[in-house]
Amino acid sequence: MSNRSTVTEFLLLGFSDVRELQILHVVVFLAIYLGALLGNLLIITAIALDHRLHTPMYFFLMNLSILDLGSISVTVLKSMVNSLLDTRVISYAGCVAQVFLFVNFTATDLALLTIMAYDRYVAICHPLHYERVMNRGACVHMATSAWITGIVYSALHTGNTFTLPFCQVNIINQFFCEIPQLLKLACSNSYWSEVGLLAFSMFLVLSCFVFILVSYVQIFKAVLRIPSQQGRRKAFSTCLPHLAVISLFTCTGTFAYVKPTSSSPSALGLALGVVYAVVPPSINPIIYSLRNKEIKAALKKLIVCKLFMEN
């Protein structure tokens, strides 16, 4: 291929060439996707319908569930369709859209998790000022800023990637379009683009991580000063799900992008892609549901009302 205009499609990495294993892949991914879809939709519905959950923490959690739904839909659905049709093709435009949407949802997710850390900090360290600081307008502005940041960040990286000429083999060694793999296909020397991408991304991730870390240091100091054991337990219970989601998001994403990109198909690379692109959106609803009494109560009320209406 001599220039970018000749690249009209890319070939994604399939999980198997054996038809039976392709069907198994579809079944497994479909089960994971339906579980993530059900879990996130239940959380969104419960928060929207239960007035007791109309607080900043649950407002941000609802946004997080929307992002998780978008993130897993972008990658998993195309992979399942390809396995069903026994193909590996994704169009050039489809690849651009997939990169833009996935990076957008992931970047917004990180921004939102950082905002949620600030929300917990204000709630525990400055409870008397909580309603004034985290009022409805402030929450909407913060959430909007997170979404806009994700869109701008994604547009910059997607534009930087697809302005490069692609004239080598158009095989992407991953089950969805990801930027590190696309940079390896560029004609021009993409070394500095890859270094710049990694450095910029790591700077943003570390900045958010440091902000979250500092916030939780202050939170733990405040919690340890609470005289009653019940009060300390209640304060910790509101923070643990958030910490678990942050740890899962940061560890899987960082490990997947820091590892050296391989020029040949790798089972490890494919597994890591599944871990950081599919697992967090599927596990997040479980983490928040199991460790949050208000969410469990709202979900129970929602299910009971649904059964009552059916009967």
pLDDT of residue 194: 63
Give the 3-state DSSP-derived string for the chain, with helices as H, strands as E and coil as C: CCCHHHCCEEECCCCCCCHHHHHHHHHHHHHHHHHHHHHHHHHHHHHHHCHHHCCHHHHHHHHHHHHHHHHHHHHHHHHHHHHHHCCCEEEHHHHHHHHHHHHHHHHHHHHHHHHHHHHHHHHHHCHHHHHHHCCHHHHHHHHHHHHHHHHHHHHHHHHHHHCCCECCCCECCCCCCCHHHHHCCECCCCHHHHHHHHHHHHHHHHHHHHHHHHHHHHHHHHHHCCCCHHHHHHHHHHHHHHHHHHHHHHHHHHHHHHCCCCCCCCHHHHHHHHHHHCHHHHHHHHHHHHCCHHHHHHHHHHHHHHHHHHC
The CATH number given to whatever domain includes residue 94 is 1.20.1070.10
User: From first to last of its 311 residues, what are the pLDDT tens digits of the chain?
Assistant: 344 446 778 888 888 788 888 899 899 999 999 999 998 998 898 888 888 888 898 899 999 999 999 999 999 999 999 999 888 899 999 999 999 999 999 999 999 999 999 998 998 888 888 989 999 999 999 999 999 999 999 998 888 888 877 776 788 888 899 888 888 887 766 556 666 776 777 788 888 889 998 998 898 888 888 787 777 777 777 777 778 788 777 777 666 666 655 555 567 777 778 888 888 888 888 887 766 777 777 777 777 766 666 66
Total-model pTM: 0.86
Q: Tell me which residue range forms the domain holding 194.
A: 4-310
pLDDT of residue 51: 84
pLDDT of residue 4: 43
pLDDT of residue 2: 41
Nearest to 283 by CA among 29, 26, 40: 40
Total domain count, the chain: 1
**Per-residue burial over 228-246, b = 16 or more CB atoms within 10 Å of its CB, e = otherwise:** eeeeeeebbebbebbbbbb
- Residue in the structure block whose two tokens are 């739904």: 69
